[in-house]
Amino acid sequence: MSSTLLKLVALAATAAAHGTVTGIVADGTYTKGFDLQYYYMLQQGQTPPETPGWYAENLENGFVAPSAYATADIVCHKNSKAGTSSATVKAGGKVDFQWSKWPESHIGPMLTYVAKCEADCTDADKTALKWVKIDEAGFTDDWASNKMIANNNTWSVTVPSTLASGNYVFRHETIALHGAGSEDGAQNYPQCLNIEITGGGSDNPEGVLGTALYTSKDAGILYNPYSGDDSGYKIPGPALYGSASGTTPTTPVSSSPAASASASASASAPASSTVPSATASASATAVAEATPSATAGAGSGSGSTLPKTFTVSSFIQWLEQQSAASAKAKARRHARQFA
Ligand SMILES: [Cu+2]
């Protein structure tokens, strides 16, 4: 089997395990975001369709680790490049971020930032963008990531009506905490899109550079989510816009992804999920993943081993067994990424 095909199959398997922001609905209008397939189109010299979604090489089990918080990868994910077009939203309007899917084991907060571009965001310099947090949710009755899953893998953000009109990059992010009890164990999954805000107010709040958003020892980054009570979880990053800066938005800035959605959460388990037993094993998997270092460096483990000869379909089957059955295997994959 060619290495390219191996990569593609591995990509398909791991993309199923995690997720990306595949698109947004801004003021009711759907716009497709960056598609991982565009990466391969570009590799082959093709031109992908225009999208406000920022290019990012979050292939395989892609996340940004705390050890990379001082690098540009934390801004809009690995080797990101500005989106080639822009969506539009009215100040005071709503942006829904649609994730392809998300594993319940990857518990954590949901955060959304905006950075104003000096001109067109398609030319934005990611290292110069200054981020203002406009939405955050950590743990209230449940982890925000679980509420996103229950809300049809969608997170809804209200754009503060007081923000000045202009071209902005929106940075939407979840931070998976299942391994965050040990240092460098948190996993940041940021995704950026260009969105112009229209009809805004006069506020141009000062933001912070992407490389100044987090440190590896922040209370909400180095955090054990299995202590039994997460109600005191402190969401990392700069202060929420309107909460501490002296400016007071006239509309609430925090989203509440459908309190009603949680009522039907158990009924609305993602129908699109194709990973067998993903939900059934979620809590056991999560606990096991909390200590990835325990198994780091181990060779082939509890999962079945791949036969010396195999077909594409048996290889896919093997991959699925690995991801569905073996929490240890998952922890090892994560541990390898830290290396
Ligand atoms: Cu993972």
Burial 98-132 (b: 16+ CB within 10 A, else e): bbbbbbbbbbbbbbbbbbbbeeebbebebeebebb
How many whole angstroms from 16 Cα to the centroid of ligand 1?
11
How many whole angstroms from 10 Cα to the centroid of ligand 1?
14
Kindly report, residue by residue over 251-303, the tens digit of the pLDDT: 444 444 433 333 333 333 333 333 333 333 333 333 333 333 333 333 333 33
- Percent of the chain beyond pLDDT 90? 64
Helices 312-325/327-338 angle, 10° precision: 90
How many whole angstroms from 61 Cα to the centroid of ligand 1?
6
How many whole angstroms from 102 Cα to the centroid of ligand 1?
9
> Coil, helix or strand for 145?
helix
130/210 Cα distance (integer angstroms): 7
Give the residue-averaged pLDDT of 37-47: 95
209/195 Cα distance (integer angstroms): 19
Determine the residue type at 83. G
Residue 45 has pLDDT above 80, yes or no: yes
Write down the mean pLDDT value for the chain.
78
How many whole angstroms from 36 Cα to the centroid of ligand 1?
17
How many whole angstroms from 178 Cα to the centroid of ligand 1?
9
How many whole angstroms from 174 Cα to the centroid of ligand 1?
12
Residue 104: closest CA among 326, 323, 282, 275: 282
Q: What is the dihedral of CA 43, 49, 51, 53, to 10 degrees?
A: -30
How many whole angstroms from 160 Cα to the centroid of ligand 1?
32
pLDDT band at 140 (very low <50, low <70, confident <90, very high): very high
304/20 Cα distance (integer angstroms): 28
The neighbouring-strand residues paired with 172 are 112, 191
How many whole angstroms from 103 Cα to the centroid of ligand 1?
8
Residue 29, burial from CB neighbour count under 10 angstroms (0-12, 13-18, 19+): exposed
Q: Give the pLDDT of residue 2.
A: 52
How many whole angstroms from 217 Cα to the centroid of ligand 1?
21
